[in-house]
Amino acid sequence: MRWRLLLLLLLVTARAMPVPITFSARLVHRFADEMKPVRPPTGYWPDRWSMGYYRMLLTGDILRRKIKVGGARYQLLFPSHGSKTMSLGNDFGWLHYTWIDIGTPSTSFLVALDAGSDLLWIPCDCVQCAPLSSSYYSNLDRDLNEYSPSRSLSSKHLSCSHQLCDKGSNCKSSQQQCPYMVSYLSENTSSSGLLVEDILHLQSGGSLSNSSVQAPVVLGCGMKQSGGYLDGVAPDGLLGLGPGESSVPSFLAKSGLIHDSFSLCFNEDDSGRIFFGDQGPTIQQSTSFLPLDGLYSTYIIGVESCCVGNSCLKMTSFKVQVDSGTSFTFLPGHVYGAIAEEFDQQVNGSRSSFEGSPWEYCYVPSSQELPKVPSLTLTFQQNNSFVVYDPVFVFYGNEGVIGFCLAIQPTEGDMGTIGQNFMTGYRLVFDRGNKKLAWSRSNCQDLSLGKRMPLSPNETSSNPLPTDEQQRTNGHAVAPAVAGRAPHKPSAAPSRMISSCRVHWHCYLFLLLLLVSALY
């Protein structure tokens, strides 16, 4: 009798249970008219299909994309005046410079770019500094500036107890302000003063509109300079880009603002670009950095062999420092001799000399045009190569080229230096995180904060992005709004039943009957 009653109840319940119900809801676009009442009171509300409408949609898409790939943390940064660098000729030692802003309120400084040292220093509360008046230099249209920590609201003095302070004999107590002194390879060239922390003003080129970034950095308040720094080389300061803890790339990477890398690009017209966080295009060659005495204290690479034109020379392996703070290139004596002799045999020109020229192998062309000169190729492991197409310095007269010299000098020891003249025409990536130098041919204009994704067929834009960032952004079209994916269907039948029962009262009766039957 009991089982018949139970069977009857089950049949009644089964008939009463409804067909599965499908729930639906109407989606409302984020910029639909129905959403206006809930928008922020001061929020901008774009008209549908307007330029602002698409701009806001695309900005949101890019932000979500960065979050998904974990890229929101890293940015591509450059000085607040822009990524442009410039060489100002002999008055400024043939180095490349860029304008940077420091402090609160910000002050602008024209600093030399030096991958061979670490510290950023600027003339400060000067005791012995180079002239800062534009009238002293032939290529400046405004005076250079002097920094003073007392005039910056964001400056902080570093004490001798700070981890970046080199605790030498000049530190008498831990609370004393930390002094610094940096000596450079050039004879009797140095900068000295006190270490200060302040704000370096940068911009980010990773979104549709440039955004400003204030990055705390340690810098040298350069009270006293000597040697070349009093003769026009880096009169307004020097931006150290080396691998040490006190360099600007190190501060930016440790703060999580950038990938631990930066790029330099120098063009033949004396212009160039600098980007912090740039890892270069996907198609580039590279070679590993080498340690010096067990430490990666500077950017050193190993050259396996050298070729002049199509002639490859034997016994020409050596180590070389890549240094943007050196104008020209120096090679070990035996390598220099082999290259110079082979160059002399291949070049089309009469051997000559020019007054004041520091180079030994100089030539007079047969016409007022530069003849085709043999290239110089440096080869590395895995057969990667770095080609210097014009390894010469050209002298010009009123009617054209009057002569040229092989722009290499010999140096003692087995360590050479690749200077700025060999970097011309390349985008050089100093990938510090992966400990490698990468390079690709470039006219530096494709890095000019190039092109963003156009918002309409007729719009042209100038938002800064390097070439590889443009490619990543423009690779595939992205819908203005993308709905989240539905979860996968559960695979277990009991799970489906229990999930469905949460919304049907019939299920509670069914479960109750099961419980009662179990008690009998």
Catalytic one of 236, 260, 323, 431 = 323
Question: Residue 61 — φ and ψ, nearest 5°?
Answer: -65, -45
Reported residue count of the chain is 520
**3-state secondary structure at position 416:** strand
Alpha helix segments (H runs only) across 17-137? 51-68
Distances (CA, A) of 102 to 79, 131, 247, 352: 10, 20, 15, 48
**3-state secondary structure at position 113:** strand
Is residue 203 a contact partner of residue 210, using CB atoms and an 8 Å limit? yes
DSSP, residue by residue, 448-509: SS--PPPSSTT--------HHHHHHHHSS---S--PPPPPPPP--HHHHHHHHHTT-HHHHH
Residue 114 among the catalytic residues = yes
Strand extents, DSSP E, 207-361: 211-226, 238-240, 261-266, 271-276, 285-288, 300-303, 305-308, 311-313, 318-322, 329-332, 350-352
Strand partners, 100: 109
Cα separation, 469 vs 449, whole angstroms: 10
Residue 323 among the catalytic residues = yes
Distances (CA, A) of 349 to 39, 245, 345, 356, 374: 75, 48, 10, 20, 12
**3-state secondary structure at position 128:** strand
Catalytic one of 101, 114, 278, 468 = 114
Cα separation, 471 vs 421, whole angstroms: 29
Cα separation, 78 vs 91, whole angstroms: 25
Which H or E run includes 515?
helix 505-519
Tokens of 232: 């026009």
Distances (CA, A) of 33 to 28, 45, 61, 496: 9, 10, 21, 38
Is residue 510 a contact partner of residue 14, using CB atoms and an 8 Å limit? no
Is residue 284 a contact partner of residue 88, using CB atoms and an 8 Å limit? no
Is residue 448 a contact partner of residue 464, using CB atoms and an 8 Å limit? yes
Cα separation, 391 vs 402, whole angstroms: 17
Angle between helices 2-16 and 505-519 (to 10 degrees): 170
Alpha helix segments (H runs only) across 184-247? none
Residues carrying an active site annotation = 114, 323
